[in-house]
Amino acid sequence: MVLFSRFVVVLFLVTVVSRFSLANARNGFEVVEHLNRLNKPSLKSIKSPDGDIIDCVHISHQAAFDHPSLKDHKVQMRPSYHPEGMKYESMKGSSENEVQIMTQLWHSKGSCPKGTIPVRRTKQEDIMRASAIKNYGKKNSLSSVAQPNSIDLDLINQNGHQHAIAYVQGEFYGAKATMNVWDPQIQQPNEFSLSQIWLLGGSFASDLNSIEAGWQVSPDLYGDNNTRFFTYWTSDAYQATGCYNLLCSGFIQINNEIALGASISPISKYHASQYDISILVWKDPEQGNWWMQFGNGKVLGYWPASLFSYLTESASMIQWGGEVVNSASDGQHTTTQMGSGHFPEEGFGKASYFRNVQVVDGSNSLKTPKDIDTFTEQPNCYDVQTGKNGDWGSYIFYGGPGRNPNCP
């Protein structure tokens, strides 16, 4: 009887170990399979000083064409139209501090040839940081977008996402702004801090369409605390569609100079030189695709109209500002900073800003937005202010330190 019992225990342990090994093997296979989907064959690879590997992938082999609706898509190498009223700025600040143009770290080690696009290589450890393989590169809920028309403090406390934004509502065909770039401190690896433009269509429900672009610090996504240029899209409120950068099929890149998800440098310093980036997203009135331009004239690529429902027509809300995750892991508000980590009233050189804020109207013209409103869930933690002047047009200062005596 004792021998039989021992045999049963051993058999049970062997079965458990076998199932565990099989599960690990299956998971390992799925990771490798996912890496192969994301990391397309490259013509050249560049090792960035920050440890990234940038692969130069032939433009026709990029991950975008894995999308079912893009199997036979012909790449549009340039937009049919640019918005009217484009101005190329002198990149000067509103004080004695000059605003400088920045670049990406990998540029110091090489460049991608024409006909290719630079793609940040995904590593196994990147995927393993995600809660599940299918969640890698995705935001996890509708809470990722500010809902200024429906403030529910209980929902805010549950989802942990907090915002400080300016916004306009109406019918829009694009948005533009220039924002300074910082390296906010992140308390927990599962938290992030970002600053971006949102172009939204539909209701704040399961059918929300969103196009987003800006900069972020996200240890979970990238494995470090570097400030990185990013994009995002979804057509179903962050449920099944869309992703950051090129981590799923969808966005079609045509530019061989800017890598989505790559580190940007240098970074603005408190009461010192300010470094900023300009982003323009607009709808091509002829093809219907949503194009993105980085800096003065670098057209990066486009989101095909077929990805969306509401955004096949127009955006109904534009937002500019910051977002953080407050996990309240120690029972207190996070110390994760938004923007520079300083409140907007500190102004230029100290606080984060969006300047020369514009929207694209129905005539494909860039206009200064009217009736800009502001929204923040907890102004004692992160706040936002708007204004106008001759050099900056409409501008926004935003951000904050998170936990402080007035934000426990």
Q: Which residues are catalytic?
A: 212, 323
Give the C-alpha separation, 367 to 112, whole Å. 35
* Partners of 280 in the β-ladder: 176, 293
The 3-state secondary structure of 78-140, one letter per residue: CCCCCCECCCCCCCECCCCCEEEECEEHHHHHCCCCCCEEEEECCCHHHHHCCCCHHHCCCCC
Beta pairing, strands 298-303 & 44-47: unpaired
Hey, what amino acid is at 193?
Answer: S
Hey, what amino acid is at 89?
Answer: E
- Residue whose pair of structure tokens reads 């514009």 in the numeric block: 358
* Partners of 161 in the β-ladder: 325
Give the C-alpha separation, 342 to 353, whole Å. 11
C-beta atoms surrounding 357 within 10 Å: 26
DSSP, res 49: T
Burial, 346: exposed, middle or buried (Cβ in 10 Å; 0-12, 13-18, 19+)?
A: middle
Q: What is the dihedral of CA 314, 318, 323, 327, to 10 degrees?
A: -60
The secondary structure of 356-408 as a DSSP string is EEEEE-TTSBEEPPSS-EEEES-TTTSEEEEEEETTTEEEEEEEB-SSBTTB-
Structure tokens at 46: 């560049």
Structure tokens at 20: 């565990």
